[in-house]
Structure 1
Amino acid sequence: MSNTNETLFGQGANTYANIFTYMGLPLSRDLNDEVDAVVMGVPYDLATTGRSGARFGPTGIRQASSQLRWEEKRWPWRFSLADKLKVIDYGDITFEDAYHESMIEEVVAAASHILTAGKTLLTLGGDHFITLPLLRAVHKVYGKVALVHFDAHTDNEQREEVINHGSMFHHAPIEGLIDSDKSVQVGIRTEYDYDNHPFTVLDAAWANTHSAEEIVAEIKKVVGDSPVYLSFDIDCLDPAYAPGTGTPVAGGISSDKAMQIIRALGDVNIVAMDLMEVAPAYDHADITALAGATLALEMLYMMAAKR
C-alpha cells in the first residue's frame, strides 16, 4: 500500500483523484531549506471592473492542472521539474470577506514571509489588483523592480482610488515599487495615453507579427539585469485561447506564443511571478483554466532551468 501522503500529493496523485493542490504538489507552509519555490492562491475579485468571478481562479487553475500531472517531463523540457526545483503549494490566503484591507494586509504579510525566506513566489489570482500588495511585499525584499507585464490592458488608469484592477500600475510607480523606465508591457490592445505612457509597450499587433525570440529580445533590452516581477493577466491571450476571464479582448496572442516567450526568459532576473484573472464561470471545457495552469507550469520550469 502506498504511503498516505504520497497518495494524496506528489507522485502518488493521479489525474482524477485528490485534486487538492496545484500539480499535486505537497500542501504545506513549511518554508524549510529544501523548498525553492512556493505556489500561493489569492481568491479575491472585489477590485474588478468587468465580470466578477476571478475569485474562483486559484481553484480552477489547480483543478485544471490535474491534466498536466501525467507528463513526467513537460514537453519540450528535457528534465523533470521535481529533479531541479522543490515546490510546495501554500494554499490560499484567507481574509475577511468583502474587506479589501484585510486581503491587502494578509497578502503583504504572507508574500513577505515567503520572499524573506529566499523562496521564489508564484501567485495565482484572483483579479489583477492583487499584484499591487504583492509588489509591496517584493519591494521589502528586493527594492524597486522592473515589471514584465502580459495583458490586454495597461492597468495604468490614473484613478485616485487605489483599489481597482485597472489602475494598480499607475499607483505602483508612485509608491516607488517599480521602475517605469525598465518596465515593459506585452499584448496591449486597448486605449492608453500614447504620448505620456511610462512603460515600454509591445502591443498585440506588434507581438502577433514578430517572433517570440524578437519579443524576448525587446524585453531583455528594457529590463537589463534589474530584478523583475513577472505578471501575466490571462486576457493577454486571445479569447479563442482564454474566454474565461472578466474583460476579454479580441486580437490577443496565442497560448503557444506566450509559452515560447516564458520559456525564453530564463536568463532574466525574475524574483516573483503571478498568473491572474482566470474566471472559470465564463470558461468552456476548462480552456482558460488549463491555459493558466500550463503557463504557470512553464514559469516554474523556466525557473528550474536556471539551476
Structure 2
Amino acid sequence: MAGIPTFATAPGFLGLAQRDGTARYAVAGVPLDLGTTNRAGTRDGPGAIRRASRMLVDGVHPHHWTDPQRMDVADVGEFAIALGDLAGSLTLIEEQAARHQHLVALGGEHSITLPLLRAAAKRLGRPLGLVQFDAHLDTWETNFGQPLAHGSVFWHALNEKLVDPRRMIQIGIRSPVDRETWDWTRSQGVTIVTGQEAQELGPAALAERIRTVLGTEPAYLSFDIDCLDPAFAPGTGTPEIGGLASWQAQAILRRLGACQFIGMDVVEVAPAYDHAEITALAAATLVWEYLALQGAQEGAGR
C-alpha cells in the first residue's frame, strides 16, 4: 500500500511536522531490545507497526466516529538509544519523552515503559494510575540477576512511586511466576486480573473494573502485545497461551472513555516471529483505537 512510512501516514519525521513537542499527540518508535529475557527482535517493532498501520487510513473509526488522521498527531520518528547500554538507553528515552505533552510509544521491549513513566510522572508532579495489559507481572526485582530488564519494569515503577499501586490494574496475567513476586505485587495494592478471570469476566465487566481502579485522575496505558493469545499475536518474544483475543482488547479499549489517559505504549512486537503481519496489525490497531478514543473525548477528529 502506498503512503509515507509514518504511523497511519501522519505528518512526521520526513520533515513534514514538528519534532519539538508542539503536536498534541506524538507517536515515537523506541527500537530497544537490550532487556529481553527470551527471544530478542523487538527493536524492529516500530517499523513493523508503522507498516501495518497503513491499513487504517481509509475511513473513520466505526465506533467513536473520529478520525485520527484529522487530529493533531505527528510521528516524530525513532528515539535515540545508547548502543549496548540499557541504563544509558533508558536515560536517553526519558529525556526525549519529556519533550512531548502526550506520547504514544511504539516498542521496543517493555523496559521502555519505565523511562516513559518517569517522564510522565515528573511532568504531572505526582504518581499516575496505570492499566497494564500483559501476560506477565513484570514486577520481578531482578531478571536472571539483572536489576534492569523487561520483567522488572513495574518493580522499579512502584518503588520509585511513579505509579499509585491503588490505581494500578494488570489485565491478562497468566505466565509462570514465583509466589513471592505474586504476593509482593498484591501486597502493594495492585489489582491483578488473571488471563482466566479476564475471559470469564468479558470485555464490559473488565472495562468497568479498569474504570473503577483508575478513577478520573491521570493514568497511563501500557499494552504488552503478549497479553493477546499467540493465536492473535505470535510475533512476540515471550508468548503465553490463554490470552485475550484481539476483538476483546478492542472492546475493552472502546469502553475506557471515562479514563484520563496522558500517554500509552504498545510493546514487545517482534516481527521476526510474526505471521502475515497479524501481530503488527494488532499493535497498530490498538494505537489507532487509543487515538480514536482520545479524539472522542475531545470531540475532535470528526
What TM-score does the superposition give when structure 1 sets the normalisation length?
Answer: 0.89
Which residue is equivalent to 1:98? 84
Q: Give me the identity figure in percent.
A: 41
Select 2:141's aligned residue among 138, 158, 183.
158
Residue correspondence of structure 1 range 41-60 to structure 2 within 5 A? 41-60=29-48
Residue pair 1:19, 1:63 contacting (<8 A) in 2 also: no
Alignment deviations for residues 225-278 of structure 1 (CA, whole Å, 9 cap, x no partner): 231110000000000000000000000001001011111111101111000000
Select 2:6's aligned residue among 21, 32, 45.
21
Q: Secondary structure at the match of 1:132?
A: helix
1:195 counterpart letter in structure 2:
D
Which residue is equivalent to 1:81? 68
1:127–1:151 Cα change, 3 Å: same
Question: How far is 1:81 from its partner?
Answer: 2.6
Which residue is equivalent to 1:188? 173
Residue pair 1:61, 1:290 contacting (<8 A) in 2 also: yes
Which residue is equivalent to 2:103? 121
2:239 counterpart letter in structure 1:
P
Which residue is equivalent to 1:39? 27
| Separation (CA, whole Å) in 1 of partners of 2:260 and 2:147 | 28
Select 2:219's aligned residue among 217, 228, 251.
228
Residue pair 1:188, 1:236 contacting (<8 A) in 2 also: yes
Which residue is equivalent to 1:276? 267
Residue pair 2:45, 2:268 contacting (<8 A) in 1 also: yes
Residue pair 1:19, 1:62 contacting (<8 A) in 2 also: no
Question: How far is 1:161 from its partner?
Answer: 3.8
Alignment deviations for residues 186-224 of structure 1 (CA, whole Å, 9 cap, x no partner): 000022534332310111101111221110111122122
Select 2:255's aligned residue among 258, 264, 276.
264
Select 1:132's aligned residue among 114, 119, 122.
114
Select 1:146's aligned residue among 129, 133, 157.
129
The root-mean-square deviation of aligned C-alpha atoms, in Å, is 1.5
Which residue is equivalent to 1:64? 52
Question: How far is 1:44 from its partner?
Answer: 0.4
| Separation (CA, whole Å) in 1 of partners of 2:273 and 2:208 | 34
Give the aligned length. Answer: 285
What TM-score does the superposition give when structure 2 sets the normalisation length?
Answer: 0.90
Relative contact order (C-alpha < 8 Å, sep 6+): which is higher?
A: 2
Which residue is equivalent to 2:199? 208
2:25 counterpart letter in structure 1:
A
Question: How far is 1:57 from its partner?
Answer: 0.3
Question: How far is 1:80 from its partner?
Answer: 2.4
Question: How far is 1:171 from its partner?
Answer: 1.1
| Separation (CA, whole Å) in 1 of partners of 2:137 and 2:118 | 19
Which residue is equivalent to 1:286? 277
| Separation (CA, whole Å) in 2 of partners of 1:63 and 1:96 | 25
